[in-house]
Amino acid sequence: MTLVFVVIAILVIVGAAMAITGRFAPSVGIENTGDYTLESAGFDVTLRGYRMDEVDQRIAELEGKITELEANLQR
């Protein structure tokens, strides 16, 4: 009986480790076409996603580009 509990404990620990590292992430229904990778996003990956300061900086850059393009269209 103790052996069963040891095996279950090992499976739970391995499952938790896989979930934390992202190797056991559930599918969200998005097909991976292979043309987009985490490296091409340009953000450092952390435990819970991307670094928010990098994302905020990127959003600010894109907002600036949008404003510039809108200004060029109005000329």
Q: What is the pLDDT of residue 7?
A: 93
Q: What is the pLDDT of residue 11?
A: 92
What average pLDDT does the chain have?
Answer: 78
Domain spans, the chain: 2-26+43-74
Q: Please check the confidence at residue 24 and state whether its pLDDT lies above 70.
A: no
The SS3 of residue 32 is coil
Interatomic CA distance for residues 42 and 39, integer angstroms: 6
Predicted structure pTM score: 0.43
Interatomic CA distance for residues 51 and 64, integer angstroms: 20
Q: Please check the confidence at residue 53 and state whether its pLDDT lies above 80.
A: yes
pLDDT digits (tens, 9 = 90+) for 31-40: 555 555 555 6
Confidence of residue 18 (pLDDT cuts 50, 70, 90): confident
